[in-house]
């Protein structure tokens, strides 16, 4: 069987949650082409599926989307997301050792998220990398407004509506929230 058919069969098996067959197919590709990035990523995601099936499937779906959108190195992008996930899990473990840590079980602090943005060089890229695996915890109103502004600027309008609807229940008369709603409405028009 050729490499292309093996990769297709591996992907189909993965989506059907038949990770063992998928792994065998990815390994067969690696025997034919040891440097195949897609097969390497497939092996990693099959391994992840044994620990966290939902996370592995979400990352695989994201990989497929990146490929369809013509992303230059989709495998690298997914591996960066995996690293971000591992880093946030490591930070969570460290938070038990250090009570002053801002990382909680629910996600990462906005300050930590801004460090991810700085490392990635782009708010959009950083948010896409964590949106399936980690929640951003915002405790300051100014940070919330900054986060919303960045979401709007980077085209995450559906997510912004959700945040704004929740926030407007808590602060129904807040003028800044109304400005965000107006900005979203004017961008749709």
pLDDT in the model for residue 85: 66
Instruction: Please state whether 17 falls in left (phi above 0), alpha (psi between -120 and 50) or beta.
Output: left
Q: For residues 163 and 148, what is the distance between their CA atoms, to the nearest angstrom?
A: 8
Residue 18 has pLDDT above 90, yes or no: yes
pTM: 0.52
Q: What percent of the chain has pLDDT over 70?
A: 85
Query: Does the residue 33 lie in any domain?
Result: yes
Number of structural domains found in the chain: 1
Query: Does the residue 110 lie in any domain?
Result: no
Using DSSP, how many helices (H) and how many strands (E) does the chain show? 10, 2
Query: Does the residue 99 lie in any domain?
Result: no
pLDDT in the model for residue 171: 66
Q: Mean per-residue pLDDT for 129-144?
A: 81
**26: domain range?**
1-71
Q: Mean per-residue pLDDT for 135-153?
A: 87
Question: What 3-state class would DSSP assign to 109?
Answer: strand
Query: Does the residue 42 lie in any domain?
Result: yes
Q: For residues 185 and 164, what is the distance between their CA atoms, to the nearest angstrom?
A: 13
Q: pLDDT tens digit string along 36-77? A: 999 999 999 998 888 888 888 888 988 998 899 898 889 988
Query: Does the residue 159 lie in any domain?
Result: no
Q: pLDDT confidence of 7, banded at 50, 70, 90?
A: very high
Query: Does the residue 41 lie in any domain?
Result: yes
pLDDT in the model for residue 25: 94
Q: pLDDT tens digit string along 145-181? A: 899 999 989 988 888 888 888 777 666 677 888 888 8
Per-residue DSSP letter, 134: -
Residue 9 has pLDDT above 70, yes or no: yes
Query: Does the residue 172 lie in any domain?
Result: no
Specify the residue for token string 């979203």. Answer: 184
Q: pLDDT confidence of 12, banded at 50, 70, 90?
A: very high
Contact 34, 43 (CB under 8 A): no
State the alpha helices, DSSP H only, in 121-189.
123-130, 141-153, 157-170, 175-188
Query: Does the residue 129 lie in any domain?
Result: no
More confident residue, 90 or 85: 85
Residue 15 has pLDDT above 90, yes or no: yes
Burial class of residue 34 in the structure, from the number of CB atoms within 10 Å of its CB (0-12 exposed, 13-18 middle, 19+ buried): exposed
pLDDT in the model for residue 132: 74
Residue 183 has pLDDT above 80, yes or no: yes
Contact 166, 138 (CB under 8 A): no
Q: For residues 175 and 177, what is the distance between their CA atoms, to the nearest angstrom?
A: 5
Q: Which residues pair with 130 in a beta bridge?
A: none
């Amino acid at each position: 069987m050729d490499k292309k058919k093996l990769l297709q069969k591996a992907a189909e098996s993965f989506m059907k949650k038949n990770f063992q067959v998928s792994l065998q197919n990815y390994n067969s590709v690696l025997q034919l082409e040891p440097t195949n990035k897609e097969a390497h990523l497939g092996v990693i995601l099959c391994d992840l599926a044994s620990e966290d099936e939902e996370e592995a499937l979400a990352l695989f779906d994201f990989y497929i989307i990146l490929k369809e959108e013509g992303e230059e190195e989709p495998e690298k992008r997914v591996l960066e997301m995996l690293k971000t996930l591992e880093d946030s899990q490591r930070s969570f473990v460290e938070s038990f050792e250090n009570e002053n840590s801002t990382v909680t079980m629910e996600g990462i602090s906005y300050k930590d998220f801004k460090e991810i943005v700085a490392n990635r060089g782009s708010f959009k890229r950083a948010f896409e990398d964590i949106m399936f695996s980690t929640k951003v915890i915002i405790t300051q109103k100014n940070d919330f407004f900054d986060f919303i502004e960045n979401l709007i600027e980077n085209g995450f309008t559906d997510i912004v509506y959700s945040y704004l609807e929740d926030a407007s229940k808590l602060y129904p008369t807040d003028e800044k929230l109304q400005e965000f709603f107006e900005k979203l409405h004017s961008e749709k028009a």
